[in-house]
Amino acid sequence: MASDSFPNPGAPAGLATHRPLRPAWAEVDLDALRANVHALRRVAAPASVLAVVKADAYGHGAAQVARAAVEAGAWGLGIATVDEGIELRRAGIGAPILVLGAIGPGEAAPAVAHDLRLTVAEETVAAATSRAAAAAHREARLHLKVDTGMGRLGVAPADAAALAARVAALPHVTLEGCSTHFASADEPDLASAARQLEVFRGALSALEHAGVRVALRHAANSAATLALPEARLDLVRCGLALYGVVPAPHLVGRAELRPVMRLCARVVHRKRVPPGTPIGYGHAYRTTRETTVVTIPVGYADGYPRAAGEGCTVWLRGRCAPVAGRVSMDQITVDAGDAPVALGDAVELWGAAVPVEIVARAARTIPYEVLARTARRVPRVYLDGGRVAAVRTLLGEE
């Protein structure tokens, strides 16, 4: 009989009747998500929290995560593109939504139509937004981005006040916010982040001297929210921490965070093999003893990093078992040793027992990338109150 050998109780209640067709899925714990919002609100207070749900909420599912985050008290939602914002509006989400990325003038009209706040760093997009808002008989809200050292997006600090004054003077536009972004707030040495914050404060002072006052000043990402209290200002933008992952090891313990996603699968094949058996492409792995090799139906097309095949483990039958050989597009093989593995046994590829940080380290990348690359073809099972609330598959929500 199949068993669920996880450190927590096995498959969540209701999963048997809502199980996706694939024997692989990503559990998304909405209670953990809400708990993380509460924890970040406590850390950031009196600043408000912007829950960053871009890239399909880092692979967790934007609409479901956005609803839970707002329910837990997030002021609003951060996304990267206008399309992402429209998707949330069509899902019935009415909270403030801020587009954090740059847009073109042609995107202003749909953004205004869906009441999306926009980030601007030059006058062309602001003017297009003003025209779109006038045509729609609406008021658009803009956030000015200042480049204090990231070098990616933003007006130069010396030019910020003049641009802010011109944007604030546009009809049907409110300059609601002013922001910047830290390049290295996740480093133990915060000298660079502190210099960026000083430059940003100078730009904010220049805005005030020019007669421009904004309601929302924001600079802190997850790392700065945890490590740099003076950067919290009016609003913090939390992405990775929202999903229960700290941006750097030295920040562990700064907030009570719980992992939100657990990538799971079931054993679909098992065999007993002798010592010296080659496994996988290139025969990069050979067994050193008689052992049980099992196959898991998840591969790099599902978002499990190919480079994690050497040195990473999965959780199987109450213990860690090493990935055996190279990760294939659709499958992983695992050396289960002498564990009494059965077909259908549950495996955790990352989650409570195998933190996603370990997978990222084995793949020589960062947790952001691992989570965000969890493929659309992996069904998402949403847990709420310990029970299955929804299942999202390629065919839609069940």
For 70-91, the pLDDT digits (tens) are 999 999 999 999 999 999 999 9
The alpha carbon torsion through 7, 12, 18, 19 (nearest 10 deg) reads: 10
For 44-51, what is the mean pLDDT?
98
For 40-47, what is the mean pLDDT?
98
In the block, residue with structure tokens 């695992």: 334
Inform me whether the pLDDT recorded for 17 exceeds 50: no
Q: Supply the pLDDT for residue 3.
A: 40
**Alpha helix segments (H runs only) across the chain:** 15-18, 30-44, 54-58, 62-71, 82-90, 108-113, 123-136, 157-168, 191-209, 222-227, 356-362, 367-372
Residue 285 appears among annotated catalytic residues: no
Q: Supply the pLDDT for residue 247.
A: 96
Q: Supply the pLDDT for residue 394.
A: 81
Per the CB < 8 A criterion, the answer to whether 62 and 52 are in contact is: no
Tokens found for residue 307: 């480079």
Closest CA to 309 of 336, 333, 341, 345: 333
- List CB contacts of 235: < 8 A, sequence separation 6 or more: 47, 48, 49, 50, 75, 177, 216, 217, 218
Residue 271 appears among annotated catalytic residues: no
Q: Which of 54, 58, 243, 300 is catalytic?
A: 54
Helix (H, G, I), strand (E, B) or coil at 64: helix
Q: For residue 2, what pLDDT band results from cuts at 50, 70 and 90?
A: very low
Inform me whether the pLDDT recorded for 297 exceeds 80: yes
Q: Give the angle subtended at the CA of 194 by the CAs of 208 and 99, to the nearest 5°.
A: 60
Q: What is the mean pLDDT of the chain?
A: 94
Per the CB < 8 A criterion, the answer to whether 152 and 146 are in contact is: no
For 287-297, what is the mean pLDDT?
97
Closest CA to 229 of 203, 254, 192, 246: 254
> Where do the domains of the chain lie, and which CATH numbers do they carry?
15-23+268-397 (2.40.37.10), 31-243 (3.20.20.10)
Q: Supply the pLDDT for residue 9.
A: 33
Q: pLDDT by residue (tens digit) across 171-228?
A: 999 999 999 999 999 999 999 999 999 999 999 999 999 999 999 999 999 999 999 9
Helix (H, G, I), strand (E, B) or coil at 117: strand
Per the CB < 8 A criterion, the answer to whether 259 and 59 are in contact is: no
Q: For residue 5, what pLDDT band results from cuts at 50, 70 and 90?
A: very low
Q: Which of 58, 145, 281, 300 is catalytic?
A: 281
Q: Supply the pLDDT for residue 8.
A: 41
Q: Which residues pair with 396 in a beta bridge?
A: 393
Q: Give the angle subtended at the CA of 382 by the CAs of 381 and 387, to the nearest 5°.
A: 105
Closest CA to 143 of 228, 229, 237, 224: 237
Tokens found for residue 214: 């904004």
Inform me whether the pLDDT recorded for 118 exceeds 90: yes
- CA separation for the pair 77, 303 (Å, rounded): 25
Q: pLDDT by residue (tens digit) across 129-182?
A: 999 999 999 999 999 999 999 999 999 999 999 999 999 999 999 999 999 999
Distance set, CA 140 to CA 101, 137, 175 (Å):
16, 10, 9
Q: For residue 346, what pLDDT band results from cuts at 50, 70 and 90?
A: very high
